[in-house]
């Protein structure tokens, strides 16, 4: 049975670089694995009243079920103001609730960050890792994946055109799969 790895791009923008990276990763799934894009587009801002009053939006239920059924997760995040985007933090909060029923628990993760700037989303990468520690998501430590000048890496159809970026992504996916096998058994 194939292991299902969720690809979560922390951006809503139609032509976001994170979504393009996620799409590029789909073809890199090795034998025995399936990579699946997990959209965040329909998730209202988390409000604990939904859980407390049993009025949970259907989009929350579907998202929590999707995350619960994943074997692992690769997070792809841009950087907003030296942190992860609100949409990604919202998704993390939604699947971590209600308290004690986190869908993230124990799922091996990886963080790939990106930015048009020089630092490759360093701040977002580390803020996301901080949240994942609390949620008991073991995160691959090496290689660290910071994709700088990401705006220069795609052709007009959204495909990765830069060989250096393709190589980095391939090596990162290979490392994640090897690490996943160690962690997940």
> Burial level of 19, CB count in 10 A (0-12/13-18/19+)?
buried
pLDDT tens digits for 140-180?
Answer: 999 999 999 999 999 999 999 989 999 999 999 999 999 99
- Domain with 38 in it: 3-184
CATH number of residue 95's parent domain? 3.40.50.360
Per-residue confidence at 185, pLDDT binned at 50, 70, 90?
A: confident
String of DSSP letters for 26-69 = HTTPPTTEEEEE---TT-PPP-HHHHHTT---HHHHHHHHHHHT
Q: Is pLDDT above 80 for 118?
A: yes
Q: Any idea what the Cα angle at residue 51 is, between residues 47 and 81, rounded to 5°?
A: 30
Distance, in Å, from the CA atom of 138 to the CA atom of 141, rounded to the nearest integer, reads: 9
Looking at the 3D structure of the chain, how many domains does it have? 1
| Adjacent-strand bridge partners of 80 | 83
pLDDT tens digits, 43-83:
999 999 999 999 999 999 999 999 999 999 999 999 999 99
């Amino acid at each position: 049975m194939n292991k299902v790895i969720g690809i979560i791009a922390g951006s809503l923008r139609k032509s976001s670089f994170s979504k393009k990276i996620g799409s590029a990763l789909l073809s890199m799934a090795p034998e025995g694995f399936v990579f699946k894009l997990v959209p965040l587009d329909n998730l209202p801002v988390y409000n604990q009243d939904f859980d407390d009053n049993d009025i949970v939006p259907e989009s929350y239920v579907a998202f929590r079920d999707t995350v619960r059924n994943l074997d692992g997760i690769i997070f792809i995040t841009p950087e907003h103001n030296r942190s992860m985007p609100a949409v990604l933090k919202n998704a993390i909060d939604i699947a971590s609730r209600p308290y004690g029923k986190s869908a993230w628990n124990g799922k091996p993760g990886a963080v790939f960050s990106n930015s048009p700037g020089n630092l490759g989303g360093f701040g977002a990468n580390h803020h996301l890792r901080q949240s994942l520690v609390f949620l008991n998501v073991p995160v691959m430590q090496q290689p660290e994946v910071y994709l700088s000048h990401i705006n220069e890496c795609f052709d007009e159809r959204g495909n990765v055109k830069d060989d250096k970026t393709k190589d980095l992504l391939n090596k990162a996916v290979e490392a994640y799969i090897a690490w996943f096998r160690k962690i997940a058994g």
